[in-house]
């Protein structure tokens, strides 16, 4: 059910929207009555959301997008403007993660993760900002920075390069947020915890393979560390994004919003 009527007919681009958190975010915007361009390197489950949008009387479309390619990013922004008339909100959600402590990470792994998680967020956020500045009526840019962008997981969860890249996403949020707030473009990021997505299954498999523990055991133990005592669903992240896109968040700029069930301490 729609909660923020001001989001109706807004134009939104969501990256990494083929599955998981990105798909949940796109679905939430459709429910709110927004028009959504779902972008991802693969179509994934986006077809079901296109059907929902049609049934709901909103508009949605899929655009293949490699966020590491400036030309493709610019093309996605241009298509959203062509379809919906303008760009009101950009959600930089695309991301990848690989298991390895920093001292074991290969240069190729470093390049892959930094390209998607840091460069991709930079390209998408700045392209959206240029479009919003041209429109002259503000906007919202929301970056999925992950809890790994706030803390150092260390050896327990050896997400070395991933954590580096997500710290870069937090830095991007703070700097771009400071640059654009005076133009009415509010840049913020969300930092989740243990979200029930395929990526966390990859993390569990990588950690348990290294430790020799049964597959699934790390994820089960990790959930027990969450103060609210349940695993986080993609919809929890979507709720946080919808809030930051709403008028309720009109005085929030350059901030990191923890959405982790109490897992993140600051």
Burial class (CB in 10 A: 0-12, 13-18, 19+), 239: middle
Instruction: Report d(CA 47, CA 53) in Å as an integer.
Output: 10
Which residue among 10, 150, 166, 219 is the active-site one?
166
Contact (CB, 8 A) for 215 and 208: yes
Collapsed DSSP state (helix, strand, coil) of residue 143: strand
Annotated catalytic residue 266 = no
Instruction: Report d(CA 138, CA 134) in Å as an integer.
Output: 9
Considering only the C-alpha atoms of the chain, give the largest distance between any 2 of them, rounded to a whole number of Å: 56
Tokens of 128: 């959206």
Which residue among 162, 174, 251, 266 is the active-site one?
162
Annotated catalytic residue 162 = yes
DSSP character string of 195-230:
B-SHHHHHHHHHHHHHHTPPTTHHHHHHHHTSTT-S
Contact (CB, 8 A) for 194 and 228: no
Report helix angle 217-224 to 198-211, nearest 10.
110
Instruction: Report d(CA 220, CA 20) in Å as an integer.
Output: 19
Q: Between the CA atoms of 200, 206, 211 and 217, what dihedral angle is there, to the nearest 10 degrees?
A: 30
Instruction: Report d(CA 13, CA 86) in Å as an integer.
Output: 11
Catalytic residues: 162, 166
């Amino acid at each position: 059910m729609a909660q923020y009527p001001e989001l109706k007919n807004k134009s939104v681009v969501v990256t990494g929207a083929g599955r998981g958190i990105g798909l949940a975010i796109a679905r939430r915007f459709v429910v709110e009555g927004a028009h959504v361009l779902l972008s991802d390197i693969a179509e994934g489950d986006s077809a079901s959301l296109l059907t929902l949008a049609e049934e709901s009387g909103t508009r949605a479309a899929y655009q293949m997008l490699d966020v590491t390619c400036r030309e493709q990013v610019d093309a996605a922004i241009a298509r959203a403007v062509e379809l919906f008339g303008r760009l009101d909100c950009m959600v930089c959600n695309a991301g990848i993660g690989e298991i390895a402590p920093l001292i074991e990470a290969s240069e190729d792994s470093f390049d892959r993760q930094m390209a998607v998680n840091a460069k991709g967020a930079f390209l998408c956020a700045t392209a959206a900002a240029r479009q919003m500045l041209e429109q002259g009526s503000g906007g919202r840019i929301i970056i999925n920075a992950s809890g790994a962008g706030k803390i150092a997981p260390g050896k327990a969860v050896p997400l070395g390069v991933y954590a580096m890249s997500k710290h870069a996403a937090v830095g991007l949020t703070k700097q771009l947020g400071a640059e654009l707030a005076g133009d009415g473009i509010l840049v913020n990021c969300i930092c989740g915890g243990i979200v029930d997505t395929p990526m966390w299954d990859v993390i569990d498999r990588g950690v348990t393979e290294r430790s020799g523990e049964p597959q699934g055991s790390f994820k089960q133990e990790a959930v027990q560390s969450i103060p609210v005592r349940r695993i986080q669903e993609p919809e929890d992240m979507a709720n946080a994004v919808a809030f930051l896109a709403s008028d309720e968040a009109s005085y929030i700029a350059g901030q990191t919003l923890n959405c982790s069930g109490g897992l993140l301490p600051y």
